[in-house]
């Protein structure tokens, strides 16, 4: 399997996991994380950034 395909597959899996998490969170608003909102926002940002990087690496490796 090519690197670009692996990055694309991981990026799609990360998007799918994020959507499933979002749908679960909508159904269970009473649950929360044991840390503050600022830590949660940092984790969300890192996850989003790594997902975007997977798609960028997929496109970049496809060109080479």
Looking at residue 64, its pLDDT comes to 65
End-to-end C-alpha distance for the chain, whole angstroms: 15
Angle, in degrees to the nearest 10, between helices 3-27 and 37-63: 150
**Alpha-carbon distance 37 to 55, whole Å?**
27
In tens, the pLDDT along 4-28 reads 899 999 999 999 999 999 999 999 9
* Token pair recorded at residue 50: 């790594």
Looking at residue 55, its pLDDT comes to 93
Per the structure, how many domains does the chain have?
Answer: 1
Average pLDDT of the segment spanning 51-63: 89
Query: What range defines the domain where residue 39 resides?
Result: 3-63
Instruction: Supply the pTM of this predicted model.
Output: 0.82
Question: Cα-flanking dihedrals φ and ψ of residue 42, to 5°?
Answer: -65, -45
């Amino acid at each position: 399997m090519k690197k670009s395909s692996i990055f694309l597959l991981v990026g799609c899996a990360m998007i799918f996991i994020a959507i499933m998490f979002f749908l679960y969170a909508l159904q269970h608003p009473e649950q929360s994380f044991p840390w503050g909102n600022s830590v949660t926002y940092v984790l969300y940002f890192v996850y989003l950034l790594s997902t975007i990087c997977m798609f960028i690496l997929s496109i970049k490796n496809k060109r080479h």
